[in-house]
Amino acid sequence: MNLLTSFIKAVAPFVPDSAVALGVREYFNRRHGTWGTLTALQIDTKKQKAILDLELKGETRPLHITVERYELTTTGDKNFIEIKEFNTSREWLNVLAGEFLKGKKLEVPEAVGAIL
């Protein structure tokens, strides 16, 4: 664990969820800006719930996603997130994501795992 991650883990309990959401939104938009823009994000770290809106390139309407429950785990020095329950504004995406995300752990950067 590097010094920055250690610092983030130490202060994370004192950081409001709105600040966490701002950081995650900025990270997402820099990393995945070719897909579109994450325009809104609300995170409740205590309930492990998130609500987000994406304006995706080529789409006429924003995509609304509600993650009803997520789980963070650590294996060795890697952090993972597993989406346990979710719903989107696109029925076909609910089916597709259900097939591809169910039971899958996705690796997240160390700093992101420290604040969620």
Please write the tens of the pLDDT for every residue from 67-94.
999 998 888 888 899 999 999 999 999 9
11-20 LR contacts (CB < 8 Å, sep 24+): 12/114, 12/115, 15/115, 17/42, 17/43, 17/44, 17/45, 18/42, 20/45, 20/115, 20/116
Task: Write the CA distances from 35 to 20, 54, 56, 82, integer angstroms.
Answer: 22, 9, 6, 21
CA 93, 69, 71, 55 dihedral sign is positive
pLDDT at position 17 over 80: no
